[in-house]
Amino acid sequence: QSALTQPASVSGSPGQSITISCTGTSSDVAAYNYVSWYQQLPGQAPKLMVYEVNNRPSGVSHRFSASKSGNTASLTISGLQAEDEADYYCSSYTNSIWVFGGGTKLTVL
């Protein structure tokens, strides 16, 4: 069982928006603004998509946005494209260690 809870799967049609939730506790997600999101394509390494709750690294599409409220963080992908189909993981720093969610498989219909 992963430390952070994510839905196992979400799906959407091209052009639509989807949101992936990531629920932690008062010790991790709620306690620090150090939530990050990673995209993992099949057979590849995770790629940083969002850091420190809602910041995008250079080169990441503006279609990716994120937020946090209490012990739940969220990643929203707008204008879904076929290339967005991947596994998405959230992560939070907590007390000198990092915890991850179990991952959410995004299917673009």
Partner 1 sequence: QVQLQESGPGLVKPSETLSLTCTVSGGSISNYFWSWIRQSPGKGLEWVAYLYYTGSTNYNPSLKSRATISIDTSKNQFSLKVKSVTAADTAVYFCARRDYSRYYFDSWGQGTLVTVSS
CB nearer partner 1, residue 45 or residue 82: 45
List 23, 47, 60, 72, residue binding partner 1 (CB under 8 A)? 47
- Residue 46 binds partner 1, judged by CB under 8 A: yes
Binding range to partner 1, per CB under 8 A, among 17-25, 30-38, 60-68, 76-84? 30-38
Binding-site member from 13, 26, 42, 45 for partner 1 (CB under 8 A)? 45
**Contact 11/77 with Cβ under 8 angstroms?**
no
Q: Which amino acid is at 74?
A: S
Q: Is 12 in the site for partner 1 (CB under 8 A)?
A: no
Spell out the residues 6+ positions from residue 23 whose beta carbon is closer than 8 angstroms to its own: 4, 5, 6, 29, 71, 72
